[in-house]
Amino acid sequence: MIELDGAEVTAWSPDPAGGPDRVVRLLGPVDLRLTERRVAVVGANGSGKSTLARLLNGLVLPSAGRVRVDGLDTATDGPAVRRRVGFVFTDPDAQIVMPTPLEDVALSLRRTVPDAREREARAAATLARFGLADRAHVPVHALSGGQRQLLALAAVLATDPQVLVCDEPTTLLDLRWRTRVDDLLAGLPQQVVVVTHDLEAAARAERVLVVDEGAVVADDAPGPALARYRSLMAGARAAHP
């Protein structure tokens, strides 16, 4: 279970008036217990969704409060937390580091599968599971954007994390690939926390968090949570026509 207790994120920011840098609050304080298998996070651009997502696996550490995964504190048990919680970025190029898909998935297995041959066999099996068997040795730059997103997912899921956090995993994809990635995420046995601007995808979650100006302003079933988000956005449009 992921638990946030009074978790806050602050950062130093330049003063637009030219004064000394100031501390700004990006998120929180947030208190959450995430137990549902499908959780969606929605909110306006710059509201703090990525900051919240990154807190969940220790990519961002809380400036105050605590974030724990199965009792492990992200601030003191980072590597163990990241073995439990996989993270997928919007842009697959942010996480694909090797020249070919096979090498990239094999790299993510380097800690859990010490034997190189077994690692390669496991990587090949993972690529096959994601429909990328025939792409295993193709240079990654020759893959389509959709195939690269699948590869990024495959490399994270190869290590079998208990939780998958995805930060807008379908934002860069066309409808066909978006549907494919959505279906894949829906079929995973893991707990999945997904940040998304796709309200149809969010409606399929069990629980939806609405983030606005660094606060979780709604935390509910999809119906009421998305209604709150729509009314927030309508209010913002009225204020800034």
Ligand X SMILES: Nc1ncnc2c1ncn2[C@@H]1O[C@H](COP(=O)(O)OP(=O)(O)OP(=O)(O)O)[C@@H](O)[C@H]1O
Residue ranges binding ligand X (CB under 6 A): 11, 13, 26, 43, 45-51
DSSP 122: H
Residue of 97, 99, 157 lying closest to 127 (CA atoms): 157
Choice between 32 and 105, CB closer to ligand X: 32
User: Looking up tokens 């996070």, which residue turns up?
Assistant: 41
CB of 41 to ligand X, least distance (A): 9
CB of 127 to ligand X, least distance (A): 29
Choice between 95 and 162, CB closer to ligand X: 95
Distance, in Å, from the CA atom of 230 to the CA atom of 224, rounded to the nearest integer, reads: 10
CB of 204 to ligand X, least distance (A): 20
Residue whose Cβ sits closest to ligand X: 50
The vertex-60 CA angle with 70 and 80, nearest 5°, equals 35
Distance, in Å, from the CA atom of 152 to the CA atom of 16, rounded to the nearest integer, reads: 38
Choice between 77 and 213, CB closer to ligand X: 213
Choice between 147 and 196, CB closer to ligand X: 196
CB of 187 to ligand X, least distance (A): 26
User: Which amino acid would we find at residue 160?
Assistant: D
Structure tokens at 67: 């974030």
